[in-house]
Amino acid sequence: MRLHLLLPVALVAGCTGDRPAAFDRNRTILGPVPLKDQIAWVDTGFDRVVTLDLSADTPRVHSWNVGRNPVYAAPTPDRDHLLVVTRGEEALARGQRDEDPQLWDVDLAHPDIAPIAYQVGSPFDRIAVASDGSHAVAYFSEAGPDEAGFFRNPNEMAFVDLRSAPTETNPVLKTLRAFGSTPTGVVLSPPMSVAGAEDPSPRTFALVFSHNVVTVVDTSHADRNEVSLRLDSAGSSVDPREAVFAPASATAYLRSDGARDVLQIAIAADPPLAGDPHANDYRPLLAELGAGGGPADIAVFDDAASKRWVLASTPTTREVVIIDSDTAQFRKVATADAVDRITLFPPDHPNVAVLASLATAQPRVQLLSLEHLDDPLRQLRLESIALGEPVRDVVPVPGRNLAMIIHDDNRTVLSLLDVTYGSVSPLDGAGRLDSYAFTASGDFLVGTAQNVSRLGYLDLANLHPSDIRLDSPPVRVLALGNGKIVADHGDPFGRVTIVPFAGARRADAIVLDGFLLSDVLDQEP
């Protein structure tokens, strides 16, 4: 095992009376955030993003300065950019400067490019990002104001076009209409075209969830009016929780607590009012699909003919509803248990759905065939698989038709389900998995246990276990796309163990120390 020390010896000079004010700030570390071949951390004391680039044999450290007081970070779906919201500060003492809250777009693939700052106006603590990375929405979580805040407008949001430079109109700051509630979440659609609309180009819609209300915003034209849909027209109390999209038909399907059925929001063309610059050229149409019971989980997929299907489980009726997203026609499949978890295999082109009942912890799962769904006369195959232990979670293994079944809350009792053959392999003696990850190829499960200075491997081809000794206990394990494994030890100066591949020996590993303070003395005060 090789040890690389990056902590600058000159740091002791910071103990003088003239040291930078950054050394006296409260300092926390946001992350680690796993990326493609990098891992990112956000240092709230030194106001910067630090990454470990593991694309080559020798690790490289990159850093970018961002605004004062970072509060939240989220990667774009392609993992090439990191979005960071900073609170800013009011200059009251030496080393401070007046700065408003901003959202920073950090290009992780190009260390020589300076981050782009968007003026968002408020210290939002959550970010929703479109699947194509084109737009982002910064908003407030339900946590409420912190000790550094005063007044806060929980219905305010910043809509950012990440493809365009910051301007007076980018981002667009909006306060959404409120009906006695505040947002509980934001989901962005994939690009969708509205047939017959004034603007035929693909655009991204934001669905903003709140109690009894879903608000629709066209993020591609965020200066236009939002549209609020009341969900409690029948007197029930409804809390939207999840949305899946059928972009070909510009439709969203909602799973909501308290709703009797699956809710459908179809975006239809509607000519705007003449002379109103904030009028929309669409209107959302709300409908219930008649599933017959409140949905507990939903999933969406495209079949071999590119037809999009929506699956919804309704535990109260013990059924799974299969919906044709193009026509909204549906069929029901009776299940033995009150299913509340649907997992599709394989994820890219599903042909089987694994159905589980987590709330009642049933000791079995059911395999539902997804073939020939367009033939209403063909009976669908539903097979029950006994597991012998209650099911607490179902975790798909990337790249394989395998599911890891977790049987207890502490992740000490596990099994592997081969979805193709319906066979089950118990994993005895695996120990408690406080942190785990699958390698990108799906060949290995790697894991760590609290206060144990070891990294464990499980070869998923033959279920052979092995482990290597580490110099100190890790707090999290990460598996990168290039096959490298990183154990983060949670050190505020930065300490990781880098394993070049699953199954590698201790002598092959590298310990990197002090990288979070690399070049910190070169930072401006």
For residue 226, give the DSSP letter: P
Distance CA 188, CA 368 (A): 29
Measuring CA to CA, which residue among 208, 209, 204, 210 is closest to residue 189?
204
Q: Under DSSP, is residue 433 helix (H, G, I), strand (E, B) or coil?
A: coil
Contact status, residue 340 vs residue 387, Cβ threshold 8 Å? no
Contact status, residue 123 vs residue 139, Cβ threshold 8 Å? no
Contact status, residue 316 vs residue 337, Cβ threshold 8 Å? no
Contact status, residue 517 vs residue 493, Cβ threshold 8 Å? yes
Predicted pLDDT at 473: 95
Task: State the number of CA atoms in the 13 A half-sphere of 221 facing the CB.
Answer: 16
Q: Report strand pairing: 330-334 vs 183-188.
A: unpaired
Measuring CA to CA, which residue among 211, 231, 293 is closest to residue 260?
293
Distance CA 13, CA 522 (A): 13
Distance CA 297, CA 311 (A): 8
Measuring CA to CA, which residue among 36, 39, 81, 30 is closest to residue 487?
39
Predicted pLDDT at 223: 94
Q: Under DSSP, is residue 393 helix (H, G, I), strand (E, B) or coil?
A: strand
Tokens of 507: 């002598």
Predicted pLDDT at 13: 43
State the burial class of residue 134 (Cβ atoms within 10 Å of its Cβ: 0-12, 13-18, 19+): buried
Q: Which residues contact 375 (CB under 8 A, 6 or more apart)?
A: none
Q: Under DSSP, is residue 248 helix (H, G, I), strand (E, B) or coil?
A: helix
Q: Which residues contact 188 (CB under 8 A, 6 or more apart)?
A: 128, 129, 130, 131, 135, 137, 204, 205, 206, 207, 219
Tokens of 506: 């201790």
Predicted pLDDT at 323: 86
Measuring CA to CA, which residue among 210, 170, 202, 222 is closest to residue 186?
210
Q: Report strand pairing: 213-218 vs 205-210.
A: antiparallel
Q: Which residues contact 413 (CB under 8 A, 6 or more apart)?
A: 389, 406, 407
**How do the pLDDT tens digits run along the chain, 525 residues long?**
766 666 554 444 444 455 556 666 778 999 999 999 999 999 999 999 999 999 999 999 999 999 999 999 999 999 999 999 999 887 666 666 788 999 999 999 999 999 999 999 998 999 999 999 999 999 998 876 666 665 678 999 999 999 999 999 999 999 998 877 889 999 999 999 999 988 889 999 999 999 999 999 999 999 999 999 998 765 578 899 999 898 888 999 998 888 878 888 999 999 988 888 899 999 999 988 766 677 899 998 888 888 889 899 989 889 999 988 777 788 899 999 999 999 999 988 899 999 999 999 999 999 999 998 888 888 899 999 999 899 999 999 998 899 999 998 888 888 999 999 999 998 865 567 899 999 988 899 999 988 899 999 989 888 888 999 999 999 999 999 999 999 999 999 999 999 999 989 999 999 999 999 987 766 555
Predicted pLDDT at 20: 58
Q: Is the pTM of this model over 0.85?
A: yes
Strands ordered across the beta sheet of 227-230: 183-188, 205-210, 213-218, 227-230
